[in-house]
Amino acid sequence: MSKTYVLRIQSSEGTKRVDIAPQDTNKQIYDKVAQTFSLPSADGFTLYKEKNKQSPVSRASTKNTLKHGDMIYLVPEQENLFPTEVTSSPHVPLDFKSDTPTNGTSYASPKIGSFQSNSIGKMNVSSIDVKEDDVDVQLDKIDGRIPRKRDPQLCHHNIHGKCIHCIPIEPYDEEFLKNRNPPIKHMSFRAYIRKLQSSSHSDRTTFASLENISCSIKDKCPTGHAPWPKGVCTKCQPNPVTLMRQSYRHVDNIMFENGNMVNRFLNYWRLSGHQRIGFLYGRYEVYDGVPLGVRAVISAIYEPPQETSRDSVKLNLPDPHEALIDDLARRLNIRRIGWIFTDLVPDESKSGGGPVLHHRGNVNSYFLSAQECITAAWLQNKHPNICKCSPDGYFGSKFVTVVVTGDASGQIHFEGYQVSNQCMALEKSKILLPTYDAPELGFIKETSSEQYVPDVYYKEKDSYNNEVMKIARPLPLEYLIIDVPTGFPSADAQIQSTFNDDCASVKTPFCVENRMQIGELQDMNALASYLKQFSKTGAAGVTTSSASQYKATDILADIHLLRYLAVNDIISFSMDQLDPLLDSIRTNDLNGVETWMEGSDWQTIVQVLQTQTPGSPELGNRPSYMDYEEQTDLASTLSQWNCPRCTFINPGSSRTCEICSCEKGS
Interval 608-659: pLDDT, tens: 887 753 443 333 333 334 444 554 454 455 456 677 777 777 776 566 787 7
φ and ψ at residue 379, rounded to 5 degrees = -70, -40
Output the DSSP codes for 340-360: EEE---B-TT--SSSSB---S
DSSP β-bridge partners for residue 443: 433
What is the tens place of the pLDDT at every residue in 171-228?
Answer: 999 999 998 888 999 999 999 999 988 875 544 344 557 889 999 998 888 888 888 9
What is the tens place of the pLDDT at every residue in 408-451?
Answer: 888 999 999 999 999 999 999 999 999 988 999 999 999 999 99
> Does residue 104 surpass a pLDDT of 50?
no
Q: What is residue 383's predicted lDDT score, i.e. its pLDDT?
A: 96
- 383 CB contacts (<8 Å, ≥6 apart)? 336, 337, 397, 398, 399
Ranking 120-134, 345-359, 452-466, 598-612 by mean pLDDT, the lowest is 120-134
Ranking 136-150, 309-323, 327-341, 354-368 by mean pLDDT, the lowest is 354-368
CATH code for the part of the protein at 5-76: 3.10.20.90
What are all long-range contacts of 79-85, with beta carbons under 8 Å and residues at least 24 apart? 79/126, 79/127, 80/124, 80/126, 80/127, 81/39, 81/44, 81/45, 82/11, 82/12, 82/13, 82/37, 82/39, 82/124, 83/38, 84/122, 84/123, 84/124, 84/127, 85/121
- Distance separating alpha carbons of residues 314 and 320, to the nearest angstrom: 16
The answer to whether 406 touches 358, Cβ cutoff 8 Å, is yes
Where are the domain boundaries for CATH 3.10.20.90 in the chain? 5-76
Quote the pTM value. 0.74
Among 1.10.260, 3.40.140, 3.30.1330, 2.115.10, what is the CATH number of 246-487?
3.40.140
Residue 605: count other Cβ atoms within 10 Å of its Cβ. 25
- Distance separating alpha carbons of residues 367 and 476, to the nearest angstrom: 11
pLDDT bracket for residue 52 (50, 70, 90)? confident
Output the DSSP codes for 457-511: EEEEE-TTS-EEEEE-SSEEGGGTEEEE-EE---TT-----SSGGG-TT-SSPPP
- 465 CB contacts (<8 Å, ≥6 apart)? none
Q: What is residue 645's predicted lDDT score, i.e. its pLDDT?
A: 72
pLDDT bracket for residue 266 (50, 70, 90)? very high
Q: What is residue 422's predicted lDDT score, i.e. its pLDDT?
A: 95
Q: What is residue 548's predicted lDDT score, i.e. its pLDDT?
A: 53
> Does residue 120 surpass a pLDDT of 60?
no
Q: What is residue 126's predicted lDDT score, i.e. its pLDDT?
A: 45
Where helices occur in 533-666 by DSSP H, the ranges are 552-556, 559-567, 575-586, 590-597, 600-610, 628-638
Buried b (16+ CB within 10 A) or exposed e, 318-349: bbbbbbbbbbbbebbebbbbbbbbbbbbebee
More confident residue, 658 or 260: 260
Q: What is residue 540's predicted lDDT score, i.e. its pLDDT?
A: 47
Q: What is residue 542's predicted lDDT score, i.e. its pLDDT?
A: 55
> Does residue 236 surpass a pLDDT of 50?
yes
Q: What is residue 641's predicted lDDT score, i.e. its pLDDT?
A: 67
- Distance separating alpha carbons of residues 584 and 592, to the nearest angstrom: 5
Q: What is residue 605's predicted lDDT score, i.e. its pLDDT?
A: 84
Q: How many Cα atoms within 13 Å fall on the side-chain side of residue 314?
A: 3
More confident residue, 80 or 467: 467
The answer to whether 317 touches 339, Cβ cutoff 8 Å, is no
3-state secondary structure of 107: coil
* Average pLDDT, rounded, for the chain: 82
Q: What is residue 570's predicted lDDT score, i.e. its pLDDT?
A: 82
- Over residues 300-325, the mean pLDDT reads 93
DSSP β-bridge partners for residue 308: 313
Q: What is residue 538's predicted lDDT score, i.e. its pLDDT?
A: 47
What proportion of the chain, given as a percentage, has pLDDT over 90? 40
pLDDT bracket for residue 83 (50, 70, 90)? low
Where are the domain boundaries for CATH 3.40.140 in the chain? 246-487
What proportion of the chain, given as a percentage, has pLDDT over 70? 83
> Does residue 119 surpass a pLDDT of 50?
no
> Does residue 381 surpass a pLDDT of 90?
yes
